[in-house]
Structure 1
Amino acid sequence: MRSLLVFLLFVLVSHGLYAQKVILKGKITDPKGLPVPFASVYELNTTTGTSANSEGEYQLKLSPGKHTIIFKAIGFSQELRELDLQSDQFISVILTGAIYELKDVIVRAFSDDPAYEVIRNAIRERNYYLNETDEYTADVYIKGMQKLLGAPKKFLGRNIDDLGNQIGLDSNRKGILYLSESESKLSYMQPGKYREVMISSKVSGSNRAFSFNRASDMGINFYQNLLEMEGLSARPFVSPIADNALFYYRYRLLGTSIENGQMINKIELIPKRSADPVFRGVIYILEDSWRIHSADLYLTKESNIQFVDTLNIRQEFIPVNAKSWMPSSVRFDFSGGFLGFKFGGYYIALYNNYDLNPGLNPKDFREVLNISREVNKKDTAYWKQARPIPLTAEEQIDYVKKEALATRRESKVYLDSLDKANNKLKPLNFLIGTGYNPRNRFKKEYYQFGSMINSLFYNTVEGFGINYRASYSKQIDSLTNKFLRYTGKVRYGLSSEKFYASFSASIPLESSRFVFNTGSDVLDLSDQESINQLGNSINSLYYERNLLKLYESRFLNLSYLKPFGSVQTSLSAEYSNRRPLQNTSDYTIRDLTRREFTSNNPLVPGSDLPMFSENQAFKIKLRASYAFSNDYATYPSGKFYRPSKYPLLGLNYERGLKGLFGSDVDYSRISLDLTKTDIKLGLLGHSAFWLGAGKFINDRKIYYIDYKHFIGVQTLGYTPRVNSFLYLDYYNFSTADQYLEGHFEHNFSGFLFNKLPLLRKLKLNELAGFNFLGTPATNSYSEFYMGIKYLNFRALYGWSYLNGKKADFGFRIATGL
């Protein structure tokens, strides 16, 4: 009986809740009957509203009674409808193009266009409107859709039709690639603090994924002088009403119109220089108040944007009260093409239910984002009721089709069929390609067997040899993306006739990780890994330069990594037996008369004297780094602290313990490092630096292997790191004393090259940098360099100086692969 009463109560309450709302829906078109995509629909004097979809269809939930509804879109005259809603209604609306008149405006030769007076007033008020609102909250709905508009039949030897069938494309290789929706509660507090709590998330084709939609990513603010668009451009873009906007833009008044008793100025933006980081399009400014009413702006290839050809930004504002206007919607439309693939899409954010006096607590803003495990659990019924922007027919079909595909993709039969095709051994790929990587996707188990070509090597210590690696990993939590990994490695040199083997395991714990590594191996004398296996093999065989110096180690290493808030810590303990090695081979493809191999002792290259005697070492290492950040984001996979405006501070301590387990070493070293890689300097680009200083507190018994080593480069190619040198010898500058190390690099982000027509299209970034090292033995070592960067490719030229005298110079190239 009690269950029946509860059920009846639930039905009555549910009926009452739904009865409180009626649905207004319809279609918005222009006079020719064409849909007006994403037109805004709002109730007058409220922040309750919605947007039409790309087909002009809208729906808005309202309480029964009388309402004044505004239908509007950028470039159209708004329509007001007085409605008495007692039940669901279907109302279609025709929006006519807005008429902007230039009457009573006289433009004389050699005088400013009237738009300049409007813009100057808007610039004067910019800072006020930027800081007008102390705090607010709003509900934000975001929908994102990306479509493939065309594709070749084959790409890199792979049949695109087969891939298209797996991801839901049609027979012409067209269709939706990504479709997602999300709801969030957005909070804001001066100065510039945001907090976002995602309420729900839906991704077409996946019941487990979380959408990429972030309200903070959609928050473009033209009241800022410069607008950062990370990933789209290395340069920020100049706002049309920035303090120095008149240096970058020309303006033309296209006309004025009246809306709700207020005059709106329609102003065209014309870049003074096509390559400047500026917008094109139209901005609408309210007369007298000089605030932004709306904007319809775009960026093109001329602005040197990456990945897309065109990005259109449309933003609309609504009055929240008598004094404040807030964004009602912002939309990004994009299109582009690459290697025969054509794509396009949009992201739209809809803002509702503003509260300008929410009484926020500053402490809550330590968490800038919260995405819980439950946000993607909402079912179809929930989204049908909650979704403010109707789905188009294409989007409805995509959800249904992708849901069926997702169910199929998660079945054991389907996954086994994919694995069966993938797990076939391809001899050529195993020999010279990516190796052999079988998997069991249903059990989430993955195997990796390296290719033979990447395992072969030559060095003068071992001769020709093989260094083969294989690993096994298992995903133990898909939400937190935690993997259990085991790796085994064997190594054998034909000339040295010695065999080595090692095994490692990486075991994730709840909020930490344990790493175990044991066995025997041949290792670099420098713990900074001077030159990779392939690079040393090429230099040895073809240029007769055996740059890599090696020793033998039999070891056991245990490491534990754990974060404590924004402090990252790691503790490791290692026992090793270390033996010096000597050259056993002098084979070379080219026998250069002016060059010969050096010994395996980098400090005495002309002698085969062992660099050290065989010894045992037990060492502990501790590192703690602090990001000076109290802000964090909470994801289903855990809590992650956000980058700080301050540098990252690192503290390191290393201790060699004599006598423990027969250890011979007795020393201790402490060091500090300070680094920051994203110092933004506006239109001048961005900088990065790394500073390090350390000292051996005692060195009663220390071997060369335990010295402080530095990241040097002695070859044309190198791997860029923030604390790497370009011309430093791999081994000769290592120290067992105190040291000071500094690195600085500035990326001008095209500030110079964008002004040169022939170079502009290459989208090159200019680099300049400086490196410094000081030790008691070498006194002063410095490097200066300059060059270019494109994506991950770098080409640099520089000079090095030792104690004021030129030591080396030349080119350095990095691919970043």
Structure 2
Amino acid sequence: MSFTFTKNLYRGTLLVLFLLSTSLLAHAQNTIVKGTVTDAKTKETLPYVTVVFAGSTQGISTDNQGKFSLTTSNNTYTQIKVSFVGYKTVVRTIEPGKEQVINIALGVDQRLLNEVVVKAGKKAKYRNKDNPAVELIRQVIAHKNQNRLESYDYTEYQQYERMNFYLSNLSDKFRNKKLFKNYQFLFQQQDSTAIGGKTLLPMYMEEKLSNNYYRKAPYTKKQIVEATKQVKYDENFIDNQGLSAYFNRIYQDINIYDNNVSLLTNQILSPIADHSPDFYKFFITDTLKDQSPNLIELSFTPRNTNDLLFEGKLYVTMDGNFAVENAVLTVNKNINLNFVRQMQATLEFEKNTDGRYHLSQSDLKMDFGISKNKGGGIYGERKVILTNFAINNPRPKQTYEGPAQVVATNSDAKDDKYWSMSRPDSLPAAQANIYKNIDSLQTIPSFKRTMDLVTLFVAGYKSYGAFEVGPVNTFYSFNPVEGFRPRIGGRTTPNLSKRFYLETYGAYGVKDEKFKYFLSTTYSLNDKSIYSFPQNYVRASFQHDTKIPGQELQFVQEDNFLLSFKRGDNDMWLYNDIFRLDYVHEFLNHFSYKVGFKKWGQTSAGSLYFLNGYGHLPANSADINSSISNVDRLSTTELNLELRYAPHERFYQGKLYRIPIIDKYPIFTLRYNQGFDGLLGGQYKYSSFTGNVNKRFYVSQLGYTDVTVEGGYIFGTLPFALLDIHHANQSYALQLQSYNLMNFLEFVSDHYASIIVDHNFNGFLFNKVPLLKKLKLREIVDVKALWGGVRAENNPANNPALLQYPVNEEGVATTRSLSNGPYVEGSVGVGNIFKVLRLDLVRRFTYLDDPEAPKWGVRALVKFDF
């Protein structure tokens, strides 16, 4: 017994000593170099500096504090090389097999900057002419078509995507707050060489595995999603589908061979765009001849560091393909991108069987924050890996048919074993726990209370389980007709039923002493929430409430307290009784249709009168001329159909509205209404058509333009209240789809066409002005034009049976048709004020003789942009 115990103890001791010595030996054999890179003159730390073992491609970039940590088990390396655009490359000797700290100060290399100092005192500016770096980039540009994926007749590959988001750069003080006492298991330590700060708090993660097929003719690009995995929050708080769509919009694929690269909600000119030498400076900073093929390191930087441009390095093959084998893209700290502290995209390419190259991996990292240098923020990373890449291997015809993206049945039901076998890379342990940790987080009562509070302030609803009360910003408002207007309302949640929903509110006007109310019931036909895409539901509703004729609101409600403040007279209102029955059906390809029935009764309110016959009734008069009769109520009964097609549309579903994630794809809408005379009290027979198209156009360095074109035509004889009352705005908030200097009920038409053009230069002009460019403001130009008219049969001057146009106290008509050309207004604006505010100076150019027609106005819009 004693011998056996001693023998086992001896063996155990030897095993421990062996493992310990092996560990120490392995550690001793590693070469570890740490340090900080600074500017030799200013002493400021330099982020994104490349640090490599000399004679290799093994290296990293410094973090946002200029720190680096480089490790290798290869003891043949005796030097490190430190290089950065605009600075002299530095080589330092290191001791193999040891851990050491080497701090490096880089000196400015005048040859790589704007000018060269000559003894005679003359300054030679950077030029494209006779510049070998520019000649090289022109060769890369000339060979773009043969190196892009679209050069093949057929390609296919498997794609793995992983996206992570964290609260970043968190201090120990923040982590140790009492609020996070129960959440310590969530915090992660970030690699000191990576962007995002030291301490991270995971917020979100998703993975996707797909098979992708491309065909040149006819053009087809199809993705079949085999598996998805996503952190999911309580749907009462967060739209998980919309959250995924939003993150995927701002972290899009980077195709360096495109002229413009989508990043966040902007497009940035690629360093190998057709005209990139006009916007970038290029420098040959190194040649790598120790690998096949040999590479040229081509560094680039913006000519103007405030412009929406990249800076970084391209590694170009010297085998005649002039292909990009590797790319590192960052942005200058002066760039006009909101909230972006750091950005780094790394692209890797692999050689195909035909000797050309395809993208094999991309890694896009961004760190966001209100402050550029300190405080907490948000860090996000999207990694994409392409495997099993094949060229010119045509598949059966049916492979390429159907929608551009198909999601396999039960794609979100794959287990952990499937994912561990299918991922082309290993998932770090800290990331593997995110799914489980977020699920655990949502069971903690204090987290639920926090989310409940956030939802109240952001979305305006307070949840009580099966019912939620809100929106809170409508609880108090006022207007000239109702005076003080308290309101209370709410709706059921999926906790009560996923298929059946109720919504209601009640309000009271202190001045008019009338109650208003609304009630709707909705039944989902696809066993999903009515707020989930694709929608398929039936809704019945009844509303008894006030309304401003022709009012068009964007993502707000008329009861909103801030909209109580308006310019000019605002006392022509309607009492409405509206019953609606609607069926809505959306499809996965983003085509949808809505079929509805509407019974609408309108009664005039305030200074608005419904009068027919000749003459007029001043607003302050109690007498009605004998030739005039007062119409108590207008009643219509109609059927309507709406067709909508929004290819590739993405949005975030809020508590009240879908918030669109604007992209380059157009949205088409067509509406048809048919009114019936004599059906359920309807007084008029008519037909109307309305068509609308809106689209964003990206204009590279000149920013982007949002264009909306609309037209409508009404068949039938109708009073002015049933014609198209053009969307006016008398509030002080800028409304992009309304006419901001038009008065309510000022213009009506039975046929019209309009165009709205809103162009954002993204700071292209202001970035050239020394004082303005530091403020990172953005210049905006907006033009709106409206053509229309009223046919003779709908003109009350020709038909006494029609309602007369409203008049003011002097008897002058305040409503008219667009008979003297188009209504035109325009504005020049400054955006990005405090990163969220846009101010426009608006000018009205036509119909200035109308009563109370304003010529100038200042309007404000709060908008979050990157």
Q: Give the structure 2 partner of residue 350 of structure 1.
A: 385
User: In structure 1, how many angstroms separate the alpha carbons of the residues matched to 2:634 and 2:378?
Assistant: 60
User: In structure 1, how many angstroms separate the alpha carbons of the residues matched to 2:153 and 2:452?
Assistant: 59
The change in CA–CA distance for 1:654 and 1:29 in structure 2 (over 3 A counts) is farther
Q: Of the candidates 98, 109, 120, which is equivalent to residue 138 of structure 2?
A: 120
Residue 547 of structure 1: how far off its partner (Å) = 0.7
The change in CA–CA distance for 1:135 and 1:757 in structure 2 (over 3 A counts) is farther
Residues 622 and 652 in structure 1, CA contact (< 8 A), matched pair in contact too? yes
User: In structure 2, how many angstroms separate the alpha carbons of the residues matched to 1:746 and 1:215?
Assistant: 21
Q: Give the structure 2 partner of residue 370 of structure 1.
A: 406
Secondary structure, aligned partner of 2:384: strand
Q: Structure 1 residue 134 and structure 2 residue 148: aligned?
A: no
Q: TM-score, normalised by structure 2?
A: 0.69
Letter in 2 for 1:406: D
Q: Of the candidates 466, 473, 491, which is equivalent to residue 471 of structure 1?
A: 491
Q: Of the candidates 791, 814, 817, which is equivalent to residue 861 of structure 2?
A: 814
User: In structure 1, how many angstroms separate the alpha carbons of the residues matched to 2:730 and 2:28?
Assistant: 67
Residue 766 of structure 1: how far off its partner (Å) = 1.8
Q: Give the structure 2 partner of residue 20 of structure 1.
A: none
Q: Give the structure 2 partner of residue 45 of structure 1.
A: none
Letter in 1 for 2:482: E
Residues 738 and 775 in structure 1, CA contact (< 8 A), matched pair in contact too? yes
Letter in 2 for 1:523: K
Pairing 1:291-370 to 2, within 5 Å after superposition:
291-338=323-370, 340-360=375-395, 364=400, 366-370=402-406
Residue 193 of structure 1: how far off its partner (Å) = 4.8
Pairing 1:416-427 to 2, within 5 Å after superposition:
none
Question: Per-residue CA shift, 1:136-175, capped at 9, x if unaligned?
Answer: 11122233333434336999xx975268559556999744
User: In structure 2, how many angstroms separate the alpha carbons of the residues matched to 1:238 and 1:420?
Assistant: 45
Secondary structure, aligned partner of 2:364: strand
The change in CA–CA distance for 1:303 and 1:95 in structure 2 (over 3 A counts) is farther
Q: Give the structure 2 partner of residue 726 of structure 1.
A: 740
Q: Give the structure 2 partner of residue 222 of structure 1.
A: 256
Residue 218 of structure 1: how far off its partner (Å) = 5.5
Residue 356 of structure 1: how far off its partner (Å) = 0.5
Q: Of the candidates 414, 421, 439, which is equivalent to residue 464 of structure 2?
A: 439
Pairing 1:483-632 to 2, within 5 Å after superposition:
484-510=500-526, 512-526=536-550, 528=552, 532-533=558-559, 538-539=564-565, 545-563=568-586, 567-582=591-606, 605-607=619-621, 613-615=631-633, 617-627=635-645, 629=647
Letter in 1 for 2:711: A
The change in CA–CA distance for 1:457 and 1:132 in structure 2 (over 3 A counts) is closer
Residue 419 of structure 1: how far off its partner (Å) = 6.1
Residues 125 and 290 in structure 1, CA contact (< 8 A), matched pair in contact too? yes
Letter in 1 for 2:856: F
Question: Per-residue CA shift, 1:378-421, capped at 9, x if unaligned?
Answer: 2232333333323334335x34xx526625746xxx56x86689
Secondary structure, aligned partner of 1:661: coil
Residues 293 and 316 in structure 1, CA contact (< 8 A), matched pair in contact too? yes
Q: Give the structure 2 partner of residue 786 of structure 1.
A: 828
Letter in 2 for 1:651: L
Residues 571 and 606 in structure 2, CA contact (< 8 A), matched pair in contact too? no
Secondary structure, aligned partner of 1:470: strand
Calculate percent identity across the aligned residue pairs: 18
Letter in 2 for 1:547: N
Secondary structure, aligned partner of 2:31: coil
Residues 797 and 810 in structure 1, CA contact (< 8 A), matched pair in contact too? yes
Residues 448 and 470 in structure 1, CA contact (< 8 A), matched pair in contact too? yes
User: In structure 1, how many angstroms separate the alpha carbons of the residues matched to 2:186 and 2:315?
Assistant: 41
Q: Of the candidates 307, 310, 328, which is equivalent to residue 279 of structure 1?
A: 310
User: In structure 2, how many angstroms separate the alpha carbons of the residues matched to 1:404 and 1:419?
Assistant: 15
Letter in 1 for 2:464: R
Most deviating of 508-517 and 558-567: 558-567
The change in CA–CA distance for 1:661 and 1:316 in structure 2 (over 3 A counts) is closer
Residue 195 of structure 1: how far off its partner (Å) = 2.3
User: In structure 2, how many angstroms separate the alpha carbons of the residues matched to 1:514 and 1:527?
Assistant: 26
Residues 664 and 698 in structure 2, CA contact (< 8 A), matched pair in contact too? no
Residue 32 of structure 1: how far off its partner (Å) = 1.7
Q: Give the structure 2 partner of residue 653 of structure 1.
A: 672
Residues 766 and 787 in structure 1, CA contact (< 8 A), matched pair in contact too? yes
Q: Structure 1 residue 188 and structure 2 residue 214: aligned?
A: yes
Residue 503 of structure 1: how far off its partner (Å) = 1.0
User: In structure 2, how many angstroms separate the alpha carbons of the residues matched to 1:421 and 1:247?
Assistant: 51
The change in CA–CA distance for 1:228 and 1:613 in structure 2 (over 3 A counts) is same
Q: Structure 1 residue 774 and structure 2 residue 801: aligned?
A: no
User: In structure 2, how many angstroms separate the alpha carbons of the residues matched to 1:320 and 1:434?
Assistant: 50
Q: Give the structure 2 partner of residue 744 of structure 1.
A: 757
Residue 324 of structure 1: how far off its partner (Å) = 2.0
Q: Structure 1 residue 150 and structure 2 residue 169: aligned?
A: yes
Residue 712 of structure 1: how far off its partner (Å) = 0.8
Residue 261 of structure 1: how far off its partner (Å) = 4.3
Pairing 1:166-177 to 2, within 5 Å after superposition:
174-177=200-203
The change in CA–CA distance for 1:465 and 1:255 in structure 2 (over 3 A counts) is closer
Q: Give the structure 1 partner of residue 227 of structure 2.
A: 200
Q: Of the candidates 244, 258, 263, which is equivalent to residue 294 of structure 2?
A: 263
**Unmatched runs of 5 consecutive residues or more in structure 1:** 1-26, 36-55, 57-70, 77-90, 584-597, 636-640
The change in CA–CA distance for 1:240 and 1:554 in structure 2 (over 3 A counts) is closer
The change in CA–CA distance for 1:742 and 1:369 in structure 2 (over 3 A counts) is same
Residue 436 of structure 1: how far off its partner (Å) = 6.7
The change in CA–CA distance for 1:352 and 1:634 in structure 2 (over 3 A counts) is farther
Q: Structure 1 residue 681 and structure 2 residue 699: aligned?
A: yes
Pairing 1:20-169 to 2, within 5 Å after superposition:
32-33=31-32, 73=58, 112-130=130-148, 131-151=150-170, 161=180, 164=183
The change in CA–CA distance for 1:580 and 1:338 in structure 2 (over 3 A counts) is closer
The change in CA–CA distance for 1:810 and 1:259 in structure 2 (over 3 A counts) is same
Q: Of the candidates 846, 850, 857, which is equivalent to residue 802 of structure 1?
A: 846
Residues 321 and 356 in structure 2, CA contact (< 8 A), matched pair in contact too? no
Question: Per-residue CA shift, 1:734-791, capped at 9, x if unaligned?
Answer: 23x3333332222222221222233234333322122222333332221122112226
The change in CA–CA distance for 1:805 and 1:290 in structure 2 (over 3 A counts) is farther
Secondary structure, aligned partner of 1:367: coil
Residues 650 and 674 in structure 1, CA contact (< 8 A), matched pair in contact too? yes
Most deviating of 619-628 and 642-651: 642-651
Residue 369 of structure 1: how far off its partner (Å) = 2.4
Residues 371 and 634 in structure 1, CA contact (< 8 A), matched pair in contact too? no
Question: Per-residue CA shift, 1:710-734, capped at 9, x if unaligned?
Answer: 111234324333xx11211111212
The change in CA–CA distance for 1:534 and 1:186 in structure 2 (over 3 A counts) is closer
The change in CA–CA distance for 1:634 and 1:694 in structure 2 (over 3 A counts) is closer
User: In structure 2, how many angstroms separate the alpha carbons of the residues matched to 1:252 and 1:423?
Assistant: 54
User: In structure 2, how many angstroms separate the alpha carbons of the residues matched to 1:207 and 1:29?
Assistant: 49
Cα RMSD after superposing both structures: 4.6
Secondary structure, aligned partner of 2:523: strand
Residues 694 and 738 in structure 1, CA contact (< 8 A), matched pair in contact too? yes
Secondary structure, aligned partner of 2:763: coil
Q: Give the structure 1 partner of residue 420 of structure 2.
A: 384
Residue 282 of structure 1: how far off its partner (Å) = 1.7
The change in CA–CA distance for 1:381 and 1:784 in structure 2 (over 3 A counts) is closer
Letter in 2 for 1:784: G
**Unmatched runs of 5 consecutive residues or more in structure 2:** 1-25, 35-51, 62-71, 84-88, 90-110, 119-123, 191-197, 527-534, 653-659, 790-816
Secondary structure, aligned partner of 1:146: strand
